[in-house]
Structure 1
Amino acid sequence: MRLRPPMESDPSDDTGPVHVPLGYVVAHEKWRGSQLAQEMQGKIKLLFEDGLNLADFYLSSRSCIIYITEAELVAGNSYRKRLVRVRNCGHLQGIVVVEKTQINEQYFPAIQKFVVLDLGMVLLPVGNQMEAACLIVQFVEEQSQVTRKNPFLRKTTRVGLSETSLVRTVQQIPGVGKVKALLLLQKFPSIQQLSNASVQELEQVVGPAVAQQIYTFFTQSR
């Protein structure tokens, strides 16, 4: 059985809910003027705030994005404490977006294992900030669609966002496309359940060949 990192607390962290006006994304001040922010402006409304110690972007008071740059991934594991604190916030669902390039590709398996298997969070790789901007804009648009369809979901729109992100994460497994990802998540609703599934259980959903690929993917990551 895998043990999750222990609970940590720090009075300087913005552990309380961040107020995000409807239709806006709240971004850390450090992203002002960046390529990422410039690519998003005009497509979504950005509000910049200083003192956001946990997340880089808040899509709502309940959902956020932690952005790990190419340089941060190469520099070491300093990002891990922040990820653990986001995971431990009961009111906050975090999505981890990581710059995966030729320079830091060798470091990617380690953060993938830590985020997906150890923390049970969603991880999405991007090639650059332009690609990341498109991803965030898409998240905001999907979240807005859910809210428009049912205004009562405004306080719980992280559900739809979480489902979309989980599908993308499962699609990173070799041999798994969008259809197979959806089928797998119907039977195994979380990354933890999927990673602990036996080959026999997986075969019932995707057949023997893909089942073995999925099982190998998770056992090798451990």
Structure 2
Amino acid sequence: MKFDIVTIFPEMVEAGLAGGVVGRARARGVLDVAVHDLRTFTTDRHRTVDDVPFGGGPGMVLKPEPLFEAVDWVRAHRGAPDAVLLPSPQGPRLTHREAVRLSGLEHIVVLCGRYEGVDERVREALATEELSIGDYVLSGGELPALVILDVVGRLTAGVVGDARSVEEDSFARGVLDYPHYTRPADFRGMRIPEVLLSGHHAEIERWRKREALRRTSARRPDLLATATLDEEERAILEALETRPGT
């Protein structure tokens, strides 16, 4: 899968790609990630990427010319992207379902905004969609770009070592993840559930399903309306609803 990230702070994005599963996947060539300095696509001696807003107001606005030039360069040298994303609090929320959809694409460009935002013509004629990572405002689009890259990239085959880690993640089937424990079995008087030491794989699997559903019901009950549950999970959920202490 191919990503192109356009930013005025390429070193910030590169630092975020230096480690972790996405960084290792990039080093192995499983993910093709190119980071572009927006100032490279300016034409004046000062490499200007922003200007004052028409009509007045605080802050600066990213100019349209460098952003359009950057995407034109990507099209010419890296191929036509399937999507040009603009991280923005005005876009729909990035969810696991959206990440799965995006992971089916071959090539994504992410435009990182800054200051008061980008010229509206970038939204209208360049970005194919906007995405929000939450109802808050950040200083720029670099952190959202890294979030998008991580969330989408890890769904690509070969990025995560064990595919089950992705399949069993929270939200993958519409339920939260079950609790995880590792050694020691007893830490400061806190002992792990005995079933995990039993070696009985069927019982362990049932415990994990029950705890995932219990956690989802308590913390994110809204997810259960669209969750993909098997017959055993539906029975467990019914028992939890009728006998909460089950």
Normalised TM-score (structure 1): 0.29
Q: Rg bigger for which structure?
A: 2
